[in-house]
């Protein structure tokens, strides 16, 4: 799940303008946060955004699938970002904002 320095830098630059974006190494990949919300992950020079029923159709419309970190087919609630979205900073920020909202709602529901 290695991530190149150049890809990590590119993604963070594309997200410029979102609130306090940081990245942290984790489990061989990279976690991406806006403030305290973990909304994206990077693995093998691919970006995945957090999803729920509110934004999953955006990914499925582009036939993008869920992140599969395990060899047994289990997936996580993060879907791969289409290249066309990744290359358009404004569009990526729009999709990322939705993912941040999902992360925020997920964190609130866990507190209850």
What is the span of the domain harbouring residue 82?
5-111
Round to the nearest angstrom and report the end-to-end CA distance of the chain: 33
> Tell me, what's the pLDDT at 111?
63
Which CATH number belongs to the domain containing residue 16 in this structure? 3.30.1460.30
Residues 6+ apart with CB under 8 A from 8: 23, 30, 42
How many domains does the chain fold into?
Answer: 1
> Tell me, what's the pLDDT at 70?
76
> Tell me, what's the pLDDT at 49?
98
> Tell me, what's the pLDDT at 109?
73
Residues of the chain with pLDDT under 50: none
> Tell me, what's the pLDDT at 1?
65
> Tell me, what's the pLDDT at 13?
97
> Tell me, what's the pLDDT at 71?
77
> Tell me, what's the pLDDT at 97?
98
Spatial distance between the Cα atoms of 72 and 80, rounded to a whole number of angstroms? 19
> Which alpha helices (DSSP H) does 19-77 contain, by range?
56-61
């Amino acid at each position: 799940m290695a991530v190149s320095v150049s890809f990590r830098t590119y993604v963070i630059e594309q997200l410029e303008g979102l609130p306090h974006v940081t990245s942290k190494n984790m489990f061989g990949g990279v976690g991406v946060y806006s403030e305290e919300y973990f909304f994206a992950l990077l693995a093998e020079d691919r970006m995945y955004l957090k999803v729920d029923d509110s934004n999953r159709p955006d990914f499925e419309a582009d036939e993008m699938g869920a992140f599969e970190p395990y060899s047994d087919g289990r997936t996580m609630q993060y879907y791969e970002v289409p290249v066309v979205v990744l290359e358009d900073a404004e569009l990526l920020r729009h999709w990322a904002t939705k993912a941040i909202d999902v992360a925020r709602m997920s964190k609130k529901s866990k507190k209850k």
